[in-house]
């Protein structure tokens, strides 16, 4: 079939970023307030159009830096300890009122990140608990996000919840050396449920390759000194850390 421009009009490609971290024992997402139409003044995920001379990962890194001030350590890597992966592609014809736009969303998981600084076409930037943005059993969301970003955020949160069941990715939310209690609070924040400390300790320390003792202790969480660990070499947890049923 010959190419017919009338049947295949031009369209744009964007990147959107679901950036998740744990702050004050809550799973938080990074939002920017849009400074331009459409949806001027509404909160949205960081992101923007992919330039003709850049790949998707470079566009994602540039948009994150321009809109929030959060930068990669160098041209080819993300924040130390961060996990980056492509989440999904969103291409509904009417998702953007300006033109046909296909977005390649990325998921970023990282330890407690600094306060963002807005820039570019973002009016402001802030961390918000995902429980306030997604609603659900707790009620209606407190914010209406621009475009289809509520759906993208929900997909990113569910991806994070699923991945920490079967992989060691929960350690990406922790500092390089952490306690079992700090790791438990990550699981509690991402899953949104309390966990039994003794049962959790038994599971994570008994999972081959998940945690490696570093030979030190800390009292930064208060109470008695707690043993410090680092992430082990296992990428897949066997047995998995299954979510408690709601």
The DSSP code sequence of 31-90 is: EEEE-SSSSTT-EE-SEEEPPTT--HHHHHHHHHHHHH----SBTTB-STT-EEEEEEEE
Q: Write out pLDDT tens, residues 77-101.
A: 444 456 788 999 999 999 999 999 9
12-164 and 168-231 agree in CATH topology: no
Q: Write out pLDDT tens, residues 199-224.
A: 999 999 999 999 999 999 888 877 78
| Architecture of the domain defined by 12-164 | Alpha-Beta Complex (3.90)
Domain segments of the chain as ranges: 12-164, 168-231
Query: Could you give the C-alpha distances from 186 to 56, 60, 148, 180, 238, in angstroms and in order?
Result: 29, 25, 27, 10, 19
| Architecture of the domain defined by 168-231 | Orthogonal Bundle (1.10)
Q: pLDDT-derived band of residue 233, with 50, 70 and 90 as boundaries?
A: confident
Chain Cα centroid distance, residue 26: 13
Phi (first) and psi of residue 130, to 5 degrees: -65, -25
């Amino acid at each position: 079939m010959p190419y017919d421009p009338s049947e295949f009009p031009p369209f744009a490609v964007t990147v959107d970023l679901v950036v998740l971290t744990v702050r004050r024992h809550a799973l938080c997402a990074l939002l920017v307030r849009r400074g331009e139409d459409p949806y001027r003044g509404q909160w949205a995920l960081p992101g923007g159009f992919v330039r003709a001379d850049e790949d998707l990962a470079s566009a994602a890194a540039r948009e994150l830096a321009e809109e929030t001030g959060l930068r990669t350590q160098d041209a080819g890597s993300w924040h130390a300890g961060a996990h980056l992966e492509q989440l999904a592609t969103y291409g509904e014809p009417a998702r953007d009122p300006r033109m046909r736009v296909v977005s390649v969303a990325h998921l970023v998981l990282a330890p407690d990140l600094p306060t963002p600084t807005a820039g570019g076409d973002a009016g402001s930037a802030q961390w918000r608990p995902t429980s306030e943005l997604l609603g659900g059993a707790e009620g209606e969301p407190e914010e209406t996000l621009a475009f289809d970003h509520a759906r993208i955020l929900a997909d990113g949160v569910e991806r994070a919840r699923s991945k920490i069941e079967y992989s060691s990715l929960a350690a990406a939310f922790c500092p390089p050396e952490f306690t079992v209690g700090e790791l438990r609070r990550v699981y509690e924040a991402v899953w949104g449920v309390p966990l039994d400390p003794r049962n959790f300790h038994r599971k994570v320390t008994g999972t081959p390759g998940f945690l490696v003792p570093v030979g030190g202790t800390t009292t930064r969480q208060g109470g008695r000194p707690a043993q410090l660990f680092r992430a082990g070499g296992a990428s897949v947890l066997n047995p998995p850390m299954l979510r408690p049923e709601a």
